[in-house]
């Protein structure tokens, strides 16, 4: 590879990484009701970009030694592309999301899982693009070939990593809202299976119909690409709508009990109304109030699905949040229960 081609490759990889970081930031921002701590999202992204690829390489090395490698044109190659590779990569990425669930009390709904899953998936895609870009780019001398290589991987591989890991994260969010261990385990296992199936199906489709297979028909995977991203957008919209319904239902109960003013129900569940400046004088206090109300609503919603011990702790948190909100909002004629 000559110097000009090397510079084009480095520039393409830098632009690709920047685009994927921007996508992570956008998904984090779209989680408008109860955004996750940004430092946790960054840490999960970095896990996907560093620890997950390293874990995958180690596991692949062990499998290669045990099984003697895979031939891409035989049945063993199909098993590798459709099952082994997706399983190893999805598990290595899933570890980061599971660690957030274990060590962070902020993870409590499917939207959180989609955000973290997207972050770890796109972090993995950044490293994968660098590895494949450098290894394949040394054989490319034209700028056009390098741009097609990096651009194609950014659209295809990054997309499937984000969708697969976000799928697992969404299921893990349902697991976090479940009360008993068997239900939690079932949600998590189903999510991992769904992520592996999505990832494996995409790999096999590229092998059979895309640029990997002989005589491939790019039109097929080009047609599948919008479906992939549309499915992601629809999933994100559905989990956000679910959060909207939870806020309306739980805050509506609080209004009926006289614990919060009625205007809260007309503002907090709606993003555009929340960002308006006329529902509370102080901008700083508006942010605090919105976060407290949202946290209280989600914790109330989680109580009914938790085990008795966890429900008792969550109920105490709800009581504390109510008390703090009453001190700030001072609703008329409160009737505490």
> For the residues 115-143, what does the mean pLDDT come to?
85
Q: Token pair of 4, please?
A: 């000009």
Domain ranges of the chain: 3-216, 245-329
Burial class of residue 26, CB neighbours in 10 A (0-12, 13-18, 19+): exposed
Segment of 68-72, 196-200, 217-221, 333-337 carrying the highest mean pLDDT: 196-200
* CA distance linking residue 126 with residue 120, whole number of Å: 10
Q: Take residue 272 and report the two structure tokens written for it.
A: 């555009």
Alpha-carbon span 260 to 24, nearest angstrom? 35
Residue-wise pLDDT tens digits, 281-310:
888 888 889 889 988 998 888 787 777 777
pTM of structure: 0.81
Tell me, what's the pLDDT at 118?
95
Instruction: Give the CA diameter of the chain.
Output: 77
Say if CB 50 and CB 130 are below 8 A apart: no
CA dihedral 156, 157, 162, 164 (to 10 degrees): 100
Report the distance separating Cα 133 and Cα 151, nearest Å: 10
Per-residue model confidence as pLDDT tens digits over 147-159? 887 887 888 788 8
**Strand, helix or coil at 46?**
helix
Q: What angle do CA 157, 158, 164 make, to 5 degrees?
A: 90
The backbone torsions φ and ψ at residue 330, rounded to the nearest 5 degrees and listed phi first, read 50, 65
Q: pLDDT per residue over 65-119, tens digit each?
A: 877 655 544 555 567 777 889 999 999 999 999 999 988 877 878 889 999 999 9
User: Tokens representing 296?
Assistant: 């209280």
Which region, left, alpha or beta, applies to residue 335 given φ > 0 means left and ψ of -120 to 50 means alpha?
Answer: beta
pLDDT at 26 over 90: yes
Tens of pLDDT, residues 158-175: 888 999 999 999 999 888
Output the DSSP codes for 209-227.
HSTTSTT--HHHHHHHHHH
Rg (CA), the chain: 23
pLDDT tens-place string over residues 212-266: 443 444 556 666 678 778 888 888 888 888 888 989 999 999 999 888 999 999 9
Question: What does the alpha-carbon distance between residue 43 and residue 11 come to, in Å, rounded to a whole number?
Answer: 25
């Amino acid at each position: 590879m000559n110097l000009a081609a090397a510079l084009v490759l480095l520039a393409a990889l830098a632009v690709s990484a920047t685009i994927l970081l921007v996508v992570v930031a956008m998904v984090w921002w779209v989680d408008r009701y109860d955004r996750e701590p940004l430092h946790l999202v960054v840490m999960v992204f970095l896990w996907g970009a560093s620890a997950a690829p390293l874990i995958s390489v180690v596991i692949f090395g062990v499998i290669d030694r045990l099984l003697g490698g895979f031939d891409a044109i035989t049945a063993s190659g199909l098993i590798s592309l459709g099952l082994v590779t997706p399983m190893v990569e999805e598990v290595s990425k899933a570890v980061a999301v599971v660690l957030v669930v274990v060590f962070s009390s902020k993870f409590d709904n499917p939207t959180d899982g989609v955000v973290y899953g997207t972050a770890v998936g796109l972090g993995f895609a950044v490293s994968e693009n660098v590895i494949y870009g450098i290894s394949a780019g040394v054989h490319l001398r034209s700028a056009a070939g390098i741009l097609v290589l990096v651009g194609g991987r950014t659209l295809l591989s990054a997309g499937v990593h984000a969708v697969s890991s976000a799928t697992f994260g969404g299921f893990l969010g349902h697991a976090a809202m479940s009360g008993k261990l068997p239900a939690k385990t079932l949600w998590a296992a189903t999510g991992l299976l769904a992520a592996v199936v999505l990832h494996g199906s995409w790999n096999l489709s590229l092998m059979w119909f895309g640029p990997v297979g002989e005589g491939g028909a790019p039109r097929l995977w080009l047609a599948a690409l919008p479906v992939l991203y549309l499915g992601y957008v629809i999933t994100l919209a559905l989990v956000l709508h679910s959060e909207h319904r939870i806020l309306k239902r739980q805050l509506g109960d609080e209004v009926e009990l006289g614990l919060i003013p009625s205007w809260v129900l007309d503002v907090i569940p709606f993003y555009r109304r929340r960002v308006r400046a006329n529902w509370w004088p102080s901008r700083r206090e508006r942010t605090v109030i919105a976060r407290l109300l949202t946290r209280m609503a989600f914790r109330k919603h989680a109580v009914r699905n938790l085990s008795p011990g966890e429900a008792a702790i969550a109920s105490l948190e709800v009581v504390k949040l109510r008390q703090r909100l009453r001190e700030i909002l001072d609703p008329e004629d409160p009737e505490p229960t």
